[in-house]
Amino acid sequence: MAAPAKKQNPIVETIKTIVYALLIAGVFRTLFFQPFWIPSGSMKETLLIGDFLFVNKMAYGYSYASCPSIKIPAVGLDIDAEDLCGVLDGANTRIWGAEPERGDVVVFRHPRTGRDFIKRVIGLPGDRVQMKDSRLYINDELVGLVPAGEFQERKDPQGPERVLPKCENAPVGRGGICTKSRFIETLPGGRKHTVLNIGFRVDVDQTGVFTVSEGHYFFMGDNRDNSTDSRVPQITGGVGEVPFENLVGRADRILFSAGGSSLFFFWDWRGDRFFKAIE
């Protein structure tokens, strides 16, 4: 007679199932795609506050920055990518590395703070980048810019941080129509994207010449006057140039977009942004 099957403890089985699920999710997030929720307006109108997307980690290969950071303040959990994969940090190399193209929208780790940022690749290694009178120059050539009307939005609090948008037509009261000048910019190589203008900012609209170091990239936000990016050095609170190893992945497509204060308020989802390609 066969021995009776050993009865499994249901609590132990539940714990095992949760552990396996977390391991599978961790491997998937490390190797393939990382979820990302847009927290600021620095990439408008390409990306809006509340857009939810998955970052393609396979696009540029893998480095220490590919490891996930796990932060749950409510329980005091704060595990950084460097804690998990710091042994790979420092050589500015990647496994199965592929270089980004000019115009790609990329999530990267801030070189100093380690926070995740999302911006557009403007300068490649060896490029000379400059802003003069609010116009972009790459390798001493003026980048094409064509007026494309206005970008409009209501001046209401946006996202969980309830940030008010900045307006070119200021002052604008709560609930009023906030506008920004809209342009189509054409980068060397032919990539086109929209950029917005709010006004003249001397620190980002009138700069010296930045020569991008080997193995580094120069990033800018599409909402040019409301973006902390490579135009401002790290020492003064900006991003500066970003090492190759700090790239997390390429943003290709918006999954959905939450226009309210929470990702889970489905009644505030923007119906026209489901599966929208990022250009």
CATH number of the domain that residue 111 is part of: 2.10.109.10
With respect to residue 186, please indicate whether it lies within any of the assigned structural domains. Answer: yes
With respect to residue 214, please indicate whether it lies within any of the assigned structural domains. Answer: yes
Give the tens place of pLDDT for each residue, 141-180.
Answer: 999 999 999 999 999 999 888 899 999 999 999 999 999 9
Question: Between residues 162 and 262, which one has the greater pLDDT?
Answer: 162
From 40, 57, 66, 119, active-site residue: 119
Q: What is d(CA 238, CA 218) in angstroms, rounded to the nearest whole number?
A: 12
Judged against a pLDDT cut of 50, whether residue 20 lies above it is answered with no
Residues 6+ apart with CB under 8 A from 255: 52, 53, 54, 274, 275
Q: What is d(CA 182, CA 147) in angstroms, rounded to the nearest whole number?
A: 6
Q: Where are the alpha helices (DSSP H) in the chain?
A: 10-31, 81-85, 202-205
Judged against a pLDDT cut of 60, whether residue 252 lies above it is answered with yes
Amino acid at 163: V
Work out the mean pLDDT of the chain and round it to a whole number.
Answer: 86
Q: What is d(CA 246, CA 19) in angstroms, rounded to the nearest whole number?
A: 29
How many separate domains does the chain show? 1
> What Rg, from alpha-carbon coordinates, does the chain have?
22
Can 42 be counted among the known catalytic residues? Answer: yes
Supply the range of the domain harboring residue 36.
Answer: 10-268
With respect to residue 275, please indicate whether it lies within any of the assigned structural domains. Answer: no
> What is the torsion angle, in degrees rounded to the nearest 10, for the CA atoms of residue 91, residue 138, residue 228 and residue 77?
-30
Total-model pTM: 0.85
With respect to residue 67, please indicate whether it lies within any of the assigned structural domains. Answer: yes
With respect to residue 224, please indicate whether it lies within any of the assigned structural domains. Answer: yes
Can 119 be counted among the known catalytic residues? Answer: yes
Q: What is d(CA 232, CA 220) in angstroms, rounded to the nearest whole number?
A: 10
Side-chain-facing half-sphere of 57: CA atoms under 13 Å: 22
With respect to residue 231, please indicate whether it lies within any of the assigned structural domains. Answer: yes
With respect to residue 51, please indicate whether it lies within any of the assigned structural domains. Answer: yes
One-letter-per-residue 3-state SS of 45-58: CCCCCCEEEEEECC
User: Which of 37-41, 145-149, 217-221 is predicted with the least confidence, judged by mean pLDDT?
Assistant: 37-41
Q: What is d(CA 36, CA 256) in angstroms, rounded to the nearest whole number?
A: 11
Question: Between residues 93 and 169, which one has the greater pLDDT?
Answer: 169
The per-residue pLDDT for 24 is 47
With respect to residue 262, please indicate whether it lies within any of the assigned structural domains. Answer: yes
Residues 6+ apart with CB under 8 A from 15: none
Judged against a pLDDT cut of 90, whether residue 227 lies above it is answered with yes
Q: How confident is the model at residue 265 (pLDDT cuts 50, 70, 90)?
A: confident
Question: Between residues 81 and 177, which one has the greater pLDDT?
Answer: 177
Question: What whole-number percentage of the chain has pLDDT above 90?
Answer: 62
User: Which of 2-6, 91-95, 225-229 is predicted with the least confidence, judged by mean pLDDT?
Assistant: 2-6
Q: How confident is the model at residue 28 (pLDDT cuts 50, 70, 90)?
A: very low
The per-residue pLDDT for 268 is 87
